Amino acid sequence: MANLILLVIAVSVFGLMFAAYLSRWVLRHDTGSEAMQRISNAIKKGAEAFLRRQNRTILLLALVLAVLLFIGYGFIRSHRDFDPVGSSLELATWITISFVFGALCSVFAGYVGMWISIRSNIRTAHAALSSLNEALRIALRGGAVSGLLVVSMSLLGVAGLYALVHSFSPVDPARIPLLIVGYGFGASFVALFAQLGGGIYTKAADVGADLVGKVEAGIPEDDPRNPAVIADLVGDNVGDCAGRGADLFESTAAENIGAMILGASLAMSAEKAGMGFSMGVIGVIMFPLIARAFGIIASIVGIMMVKLDKEEKMDPMTALNRGYYVAVILAMIAFGLATYWFLNSPSAPDAWWHFFLCGIVGVLTSVGFVYITQYYTEYKYRPVKGIAEASKTGPATNIIAGFSVGLECTALPTLVMGAALLAAYYLGRSSGLPNAGLFGTAVATMGMLATAAYILAMDTFGPITDNAGGIVEMSQQPEHIRKKTDRLDAVGNTTKALTKGYAIGSAALAAFLLFQAYIDEVLQYSGKGHGFNFVVDLSKPVVFVGALLGAMLVFLFASLAIRAVGQAAQSIIAEVRRQYAPLPRENDIIQFPKDFEPEYGSCVDIVTKAALRQMVLPGLLVVLTPVVVGLAFKMFIVPGDELISAQAVAALLMVGTIGGILMALVLNNGGGAWDNAKKYIEAGAHGGKYLTMPDGKKIKNPTHAAAVVGDTVGDPFKDTAGPSLHVLIKLLSTITLVLAPLFI
Amino acid sequence: MANLILLVIAVSVFGLMFAAYLSRWVLRHDTGSEAMQRISNAIKKGAEAFLRRQNRTILLLALVLAVLLFIGYGFIRSHRDFDPVGSSLELATWITISFVFGALCSVFAGYVGMWISIRSNIRTAHAALSSLNEALRIALRGGAVSGLLVVSMSLLGVAGLYALVHSFSPVDPARIPLLIVGYGFGASFVALFAQLGGGIYTKAADVGADLVGKVEAGIPEDDPRNPAVIADLVGDNVGDCAGRGADLFESTAAENIGAMILGASLAMSAEKAGMGFSMGVIGVIMFPLIARAFGIIASIVGIMMVKLDKEEKMDPMTALNRGYYVAVILAMIAFGLATYWFLNSPSAPDAWWHFFLCGIVGVLTSVGFVYITQYYTEYKYRPVKGIAEASKTGPATNIIAGFSVGLECTALPTLVMGAALLAAYYLGRSSGLPNAGLFGTAVATMGMLATAAYILAMDTFGPITDNAGGIVEMSQQPEHIRKKTDRLDAVGNTTKALTKGYAIGSAALAAFLLFQAYIDEVLQYSGKGHGFNFVVDLSKPVVFVGALLGAMLVFLFASLAIRAVGQAAQSIIAEVRRQYAPLPRENDIIQFPKDFEPEYGSCVDIVTKAALRQMVLPGLLVVLTPVVVGLAFKMFIVPGDELISAQAVAALLMVGTIGGILMALVLNNGGGAWDNAKKYIEAGAHGGKYLTMPDGKKIKNPTHAAAVVGDTVGDPFKDTAGPSLHVLIKLLSTITLVLAPLFI
C-alpha cells in the first residue's frame, strides 16, 4: 500500500511543480505599458484586499465550527462500539484535523488561483499587442496553474491525510476514509462562502456599475469615469476565479473520499464472497486516487498542446477543443489501464471492463451536458433566438420567454443524468461482483472528473481574457488590438458557460455517490453492517418532511443569494451618487470635468464589506439546516426505527440535491440565454443596438433595451445563485457525511 | 351501511337543490340597462363558445383514454389472484365507468359554474347601482352555486358509484374504493385541461390586449375600442371560474376516495387486532363522506349569513370573513360529532378525539396558509413594499426583487405543512389503534377540506365582481357606482389570492394522503398484504431517477404552460394589428374614428383556438410521464425486487408533488406580489402613476412602468402555470392510483 500512496503523492507533487513551472512561464512575460499597469494594479489591489478580508471571515467561521466539531465528537457524543477508532477524543481529533486542513487547503487554492489570474490578465493583454497565439497560451496556462493546483492539492490532501492516519493510528485501513471525510467538508465549507461572497461581489459591482453608470450618468460600460468600474473588474476575479476554484477543489476532494468509502465496501464484500481483487482491498480504495493522478498527467499534456496555427486564422475555441480531446483520450486510456490494474478480480473476469465502460459513461455524460448547455445558451439555436424575438414586444415578454427557456432546459440534462446513473449502475451490477452497482456509479463520476484540471483551466481562462479585454479597453488601445482580445473574450464566455454545465453535471453524479457513502457510513457507525437494509423511505411522514425541507432549502437559499446581490448593488449605487453629487450638471445631465478622477477604492471597499455581510446568512442557512433536522428529528426515534433521523437527513440531502440541480440549471442557463439574446441583438439582429429614424437620427432600439433588462435579471441568476447552488449540493453531502454519527 | 350511504346521498342532493335555489334567487334579479346587457351578452357568448369547444376537445381526449383504459385492463393485463373482482373484464368495466363518470361530472360542474357566473356578473353590476349589500350577496351566492355544486356532485358521484358497485358486484365492500378510483382520475383529467386551457386563454387575452392596446395604440385598459377587451373579460370566467371549479371538484373527489381506501385499511387492521370500531369497517369507510356532507351544511349556513350592515360602511371582506368563521366553527362541531360517532373504538377510547384533533390541525393549516399568502402578496407588508421600492431602479431590479420574494415565500408554508403532517401523524399514531398514523394525516386533510364549498364560493366571487366592474366601466356608469364595484373588486382580488393559498395547502395534504392510498393499493394488488414493508427507497438508483424525473416534469410543465401564454398572446396581437391596420394615423398614432366598432368575436375566436391548441402538449406530458416511467421501469424488475417500478412511480409522484408545491408557491405568490406592487404604486407610492414635472407637465412615472413589467411577467405565473400545477399534483396522484395495477 505504501507504494501506491507514494505514487499518488508523487504525481500530485509533480502536478504542483508543473503548476509552479507554468506560473513562472506566465510571469516571465512582459507587463505592458504604464497605462495598462495602472489599471491592472488597481484590479490586483482590490481583488487581494477582498480576498484577504473574505478569507479572514471564512477562517473565523471555520474555526468556530472546528471547535464545535471537536466538542461535539470529543465530549458530547459518547464513544460507541462501532466507531472506527478506540476513543471519542481520537475520533474528534481526526475529524477536526481533516476539517481544518481541508479548509486551509481550499483557502490556499483559491488564493493562489486568483494570484496568478490577476497577473496573467495584464500579460495576456500585452501579448495581444503582438500575437494572438501568445495571448491565448498565456491566458490558458494562467488558468492551468489554478486548475493543476486545485486538483493536485485535493489529491495530495486526501492521500496525505490517509497516510497520516495510517501511520499514527492502528485503525483498519479500510475504515480510514471515515476519519478523513472532514477534509471534504472543510473544503466545501470554504467553497460555499467563497463562491457566495465572490458571486455577490461580482454581480453587485456589475449591476450597480451598470445601473448608475449607463442609466443615470449615461456613460458607456467599462468607462473609466465610472467609480464602480474597477470593482466590476475585480469581481470577475474574485467571483469566477477564486469561487470556481474553491468549488472544484471540494468537488474533487469530496468525490475522492466518497469513492474510497464505496470502494472499501465493495472490496470487503467481494472478499467475503471469496472474489477478492488481485490488488486487494487497498487497491480498490486507492483506485480513485490513482485514476485522478493519471487524469492530472493527461490534462497537462492537453494544456501544453494548445496553440494556434501560424497565420492565427484558427478559431481559438478550436485550439482549446483540440487540447481537450487529447486530454480526454489520454485520460481514458489511463483510466482503462487503472481499471485493469486495480479492479481486476480473478473470479469476476469481466468486472474491470464493466467498470471501464462506467468511466466512459461518465465522460459521455459530461460531453452531453456541454452540448445541451450550448444548445440552450448560444444564439445559433432556437431558445436564445426566441428570447430575442420576444424582446420585440418589450421587457415583460423577454422575461417570460427567458424564464420559460430556463425551466425547459432542465429536461434534457435530467434525462442524460438519469440514463447515465442507470447505465453505470447496471454495468456495475452485471460485473459479476456482489453489490457492485453503486460502485459503478462512483466510477462513472470518476470518469467525468478525470479531466477536471483541464476543464478548470478553461474556466479560469474566462475571467483572465475578460480582464485582459477590460485592460485593453480602458487603456485605449487601437481597434485591431481590441478585436484580438474580443475574440479571446468571446471564447472565454463560451468556456465559462460550458464549464458551468460540466460543474453541474459532475455535482449531480458526485452527489449520488456521496449519498451512498453517507448510507454506508450510517451503517458502519450504527453497527448494522452491510446485511442491514437501510432505506430512505419517502413514504414515512418524517422522511417525507425531511425531503420537503431539502427542496425548500434550495428555494430559500436562491432567494437569499439573489436578494443579497440587489442589496449590495444598492450600496454601490449610493456611493457612486455621492461621488457624482458635486459635479456640474446641465439639464440634469452630468458634465464631467476633463480632469475628473473617480475614487475607485471606496467602491471596492464598500462592495467588499457588503458582499461579506450578505454572504453570512445564506451560508449559515445551508450549514445549519441539515444539522438541525438531523438532531431535532432524533425525537422521532422509536424502537424498531432507530435510524429515522438519519433517514430524514438522507431525504433532505437527496431531494435537496434534485431541487438544487434543477434550480441551478434554470438559473445558469436562463441567465446565459438572456445574456446571449442581448449579444445576438447587439450583433445586429432585430435592428441592433440603435435604430436609424427616417430623419437620419439614431435612437436607442427598444428591443435592445428590453434584452438588457433580461441580461441584468440573469446576472445574479447565473453568476451568484446558480454557481452557489453547485456548492450547496456538495456542502449538503459533505456536512451530512461528517455529522452522520451525530444523527444516530 | 345502506342507511349511511342514503344519508350521504340525501345531503348531497340537498346541496344540489340548495344550489338550484340560490341560482334561481340570483336569476330573479334585474339585468340592468341595454348597454350593460350588450357587454354581458358578448362575454356570455364568448365564454360559452370557448367552453363548448374546450369540452369537446377534452371529452374526445377522455374518450380515447377510456378506450385505452378498458383495453389495458380488460385485454392486456391478465387477471391476478389478488384483484378485487373475479375477472379482467369486470375490473376494466368498473374502472372505465368510474373514469367516464368522473370526467362527465367534472365537465358538467365546470359548465354550470360558469353558466351561473356569467349571469351573476351583470346582476351584480346592476345591483351595485342601488345597494352594495345586494351586489355583495348576488356575487357571493352566484359563487356559492358553483361551490355547492362542485362539492355536492363530487360527494354524490363517489357515494353513488360506491352504491352502484355494491349492488351489482359481490366484491368485499372494503375493496370497493379500489374500483372507483377512476372517478378521481376522470375528474382530474378534465380539470387539468380545463385549468390549462382556461388559464392560457385568460392570460393570453390579458397580455395580448395590454401589449397591443396600452403599448401600441395608447388606449387605456378595458377600453371598448380594443378588440381584445371582450376576450379578456371572457378569460376571467373560463380561467378562474371553470378552471378552479374543476380543480376543486377533483380535489374533493380524489381526497374522498383516498381517505376511504386508507380508512378501510385502518379499520381492517384494527379489527384484526381485536379493536374494531363500534360502527364497523363500513363506518370508517363512510366517515370521509359523512364529514364532507356535514361540511356542506355548515358552508350553506355560512353563506346565508353574509350581509353588510345597514349603512354599508362595513368592509365587505369583514362580512365574508364572518361567514367563513361561522362555517368553520359549525363544520368543526359537526366534525367532532362525526369522529365520535364513526371513529369510536371501545378498546381505544382516546382514538376519536385524537382524530378530532387531527381535523383541527387541518383547519389550522388552512388558516396558516391564508395568513402567509396575505403576508407575501398584500402591500401592507415588507415583501410587496420591497418590490415597489426596487422598481425605482427599473424593470430589471423589479423582476429580481419579485423573483426573490417568490422563492422566499416557499419557506413558511413548507414549515407549516411539515409541522401539520407530523402532528397529525403522531396524533394518529398515539390514538391507541394500530397503524393509525397515516389515517391521522388523512383526517387532517378532511378537516382542511371541510369548508371547501365556502372557500370555492369566495373564489368564484372574484371573477364575478371583476366582470361586474368591467361591465360598469365599459357601460360608462357614474363615478360613485364605479367606486362601489371597485370595493367589491378589491375584495375579490383578495379572496382569489387567499383561495389559491388554500388550494395549494389542501393539494399538498391531499397528495400525501393519495401517496398512501397508492401504496396501499399496490400492496393489495400485489397480494403482499399489510405485513409487507413497501418502501419508496430513494437510495436505489431506479427510484432516485424516478424522483428526478418527477421534479423535472414540474419544471418542464411550467415552462410549457408559460410559453403557451406567450404564443397565444402573439396570435391576439396579430389580430388586433390587422383590425387597426386600415385606421388613419397621425405621427404613427392611431386616430380612432368616432364610429369605430372593433370586431370582438374574431379575437375571442382566435384566442379560443390558440388556447385549445396550446393546452394539449403540456397536458399529455403530465398524463404520459408517469405511465411511461411505470411501464418502462418494469424492465428493472428482478427477483426480490418485484415492485421496483411501482416504487419509482411513487418517487416520481412524491418528489413531483414536492417540486410542484414549491413551484406553485413561487409562481402564485411571486405573481401576486408583482401585481400588488404595481397597485401599491398606483395607489400613490413612489410618485404614483404619473409624475408632475417642474413645468407642470404630467409624465409617466418610470417606477410605475417598471412595476407594470413585473405585473405582466406575473400574469402567466399566477393565473396559468401556478394553478395548473395544483391540478398537476393531483392528476399525478390519481393517475398513479388508477394505473398502479399495471406497474406491478
For residue range B389-409, list pLDDT tens digits in order: 999 888 999 999 999 999 999
* pLDDT at residue number B376: 92
In this predicted structure, the answer to whether residue A359 has a pLDDT above a threshold of 90 is yes
**Residue B692: its H or E element:** strand B690-692
String of DSSP letters for A17-67: HHHHHHHHHHHTS----HHHHHHHHHHHHHHHHHHHHHHHHHHHHHHHHHH
> Cβ neighbours of residue B632 under 8 Å, at least 6 residues apart?
none
Total CB pairs under 8 A between chain A and B:
230
Q: Which residue has the higher pLDDT, A357 or B234?
A: A357
Rg (alpha carbons) of chain B, rounded to whole number: 26
Distance between CA A269 and CA B584 in Å, rounded? 85
* pLDDT at residue number A326: 93
Decide if A662 and B552 are in contact by the 8 Å CB cutoff: yes
Over residues A508-553, the pLDDT tens digits come to: 888 888 888 888 888 888 877 656 678 888 888 999 999 999 999 9
Residue B350, number of CB atoms within 10 A of its CB: 12
Decide if A538 and B538 are in contact by the 8 Å CB cutoff: yes
In this predicted structure, the answer to whether residue B530 has a pLDDT above a threshold of 60 is no
- The amino acid occupying position B90 is E
Distance between CA B278 and CA A422 in Å, rounded? 51
Least confident of A60-74, A93-107, A204-218, A721-735: A204-218
Distance between CA A169 and CA A167 in Å, rounded? 6
In this predicted structure, the answer to whether residue A462 has a pLDDT above a threshold of 80 is yes
Whose cell is 453524479? That residue is A509
Report, as an integer, the average pLDDT of B108-115: 86
Q: Please indicate if any CB of chain A lies within 8 Å of the CB of B408.
A: yes
Strand bridging mode B698-700 / B690-692: antiparallel
**Residue A691: its H or E element:** strand A690-692
Q: Report the complex ipTM.
A: 0.92
Distance between CA A501 and CA B678 in Å, rounded? 36
Rg (alpha carbons) of chain A, rounded to whole number: 26
Distance between CA B661 and CA B670 in Å, rounded? 14
Confidence of residue B592 (pLDDT cuts 50, 70, 90): confident
Please state the pTM of the whole predicted model.
0.92
Residues 435-454 of B with CB under 8 A from A: 437-438, 441
Distance between CA A249 and CA A247 in Å, rounded? 5
Nearest to A655 by CA among B630, B551, B418: B551
> Rounded to the nearest 10 degrees, what angle do helices B316-342 and B132-168 cross at?
20
Q: What sign does the CA torsion over B69, B74, B76, B80 have?
A: positive
CB A621 within 8 A of CB A560: yes
Over residues A328-344, the pLDDT tens digits come to: 999 999 999 999 988 88
* pLDDT at residue number A483: 83
> Rounded to the nearest 10 degrees, what angle do helices B722-743 and B88-128 cross at?
170
Distance between CA B490 and CA B474 in Å, rounded? 18
Q: Please indicate if any CB of chain A lies within 8 Å of the CB of B122.
A: no
Distance between CA A253 and CA A91 in Å, rounded? 20
SS3 B590: strand
To the nearest whole percent, how much of chain B has pLDDT over 70?
A: 99
- The amino acid occupying position B539 is S
Please return the burial class of A251, using the count of CB atoms within 10 Å of its CB with bins 0-12, 13-18 and 19+.
Answer: buried
Decide if B562 and A211 are in contact by the 8 Å CB cutoff: no
Distance between CA A517 and CA A278 in Å, rounded? 24
Nearest to A562 among B404, B422, B545 (CB): B404
Confidence of residue B15 (pLDDT cuts 50, 70, 90): very high
Decide if B555 and A662 are in contact by the 8 Å CB cutoff: yes
Q: Please indicate if any CB of chain B lies within 8 Å of the CB of A574.
A: no
Grid coordinates representing B438 are 397515516
Q: Which of B404, B445, B695 to mutate to test the interface with A (most CBs of A within 10 A)?
A: B404
Q: What sign does the CA torsion over B481, B485, B486, B491 have?
A: positive
Q: Name the residue of chain A whose CA is nearest to B565's CA.
A: A400
Report, as an integer, the average pLDDT of A447-472: 88
* pLDDT at residue number B716: 92
In this predicted structure, the answer to whether residue B253 has a pLDDT above a threshold of 90 is no
Residues 310-339 of A with CB under 8 A from B: none
Half-sphere exposure of A113 (CA within 13 A, CB side): 42
String of DSSP letters for B122-142: HHHHHHHTT-HHHHHHHHHHH
Confidence of residue A1 (pLDDT cuts 50, 70, 90): low
Q: What is the distance in angstroms between the Cα of B713 and the nearest Cα belonging to chain A?
A: 5
Q: Please indicate if any CB of chain A lies within 8 Å of the CB of B539.
A: yes
> Rounded to the nearest 10 degrees, what angle do helices B644-682 and B541-580 cross at?
40
| Residues on chain A touching B539 (C-beta within 8 angstroms) | 515-516, 519, 534-536, 650, 654
C-alpha distances in angstroms, B622 versus A404, B602, B653, B738? 17, 31, 11, 14
Grid coordinates representing A205 are 459591482
The dihedrals phi and psi of A586, each to the nearest 5 degrees, come to -130, 125
Q: What sign does the CA torsion over B485, B490, B491, B495 have?
A: positive
String of DSSP letters for B242-274: IIHHHHHHHHHHHHHHHHHHHHHHHHHHHHHTT
CB B231 within 8 A of CB B205: yes
Q: Please indicate if any CB of chain B lies within 8 Å of the CB of A599.
A: no
Distance between CA B393 and CA A402 in Å, rounded? 21
CB B283 within 8 A of CB B4: yes
Q: Please indicate if any CB of chain A lies within 8 Å of the CB of B565.
A: yes
Over residues A35-46, the pLDDT tens digits come to: 888 888 888 888
Q: What angle do CA A392, B407, A616 make, to 5 degrees?
A: 115
Grid coordinates representing A722 are 446558480
Nearest to B422 among A410, A441, A541 (CB): A541
* pLDDT at residue number A667: 95
In this predicted structure, the answer to whether residue A309 has a pLDDT above a threshold of 90 is no
| Residues on chain A touching B545 (C-beta within 8 angstroms) | 418, 421-422
Q: What sign does the CA torsion over B367, B368, B373, B375 have?
A: positive
Q: What is the distance in angstroms between the Cα of A395 and the nearest Cα belonging to chain B?
A: 7
Decide if B566 and A396 are in contact by the 8 Å CB cutoff: no
Q: Which residue has the higher pLDDT, A141 or B82?
A: A141
Give the best-scoring range by mean pLDDT among B115-119, B430-434, B544-548: B544-548
Nearest to A562 among B400, B560, B563 (CB): B400
- Partnered with residue A589 across adjacent β-strands are A586
Decide if A666 and B555 are in contact by the 8 Å CB cutoff: yes
Residue B440, number of CB atoms within 10 A of its CB: 29
Decide if B650 and A539 are in contact by the 8 Å CB cutoff: yes
String of DSSP letters for B438-469: HHHHHHHHHHHHTTHHHHHHHHHHHHHHHHHH
Distance between CA A402 and CA A387 in Å, rounded? 6
Report, as an integer, the average pLDDT of A701-719: 91
Distance between CA A608 and CA A228 in Å, rounded? 12
CB B25 within 8 A of CB B141: yes
Decide if A545 and B658 are in contact by the 8 Å CB cutoff: no
Distance between CA B535 and CA B527 in Å, rounded? 15
C-alpha distances in angstroms, B680 versus B493, B627, B675? 14, 46, 9
Half-sphere exposure of B459 (CA within 13 A, CB side): 31
Q: Which residue has the higher pLDDT, A382 or A594?
A: A382
Eight-class DSSP state of A79: P
Distance between CA A712 and CA A207 in Å, rounded? 7
Grid coordinates representing A220 are 458607456
Q: Which of B207, B389, B392, B407 to mutate to test the interface with A (most CBs of A within 10 A)?
A: B407
CB B69 within 8 A of CB B99: yes
Residue A374, number of CB atoms within 10 A of its CB: 16
Q: Please indicate if any CB of chain B lies within 8 Å of the CB of A560.
A: yes
- In SS3 terms, A283-296 reads as HHHHHHHHHHHHHH
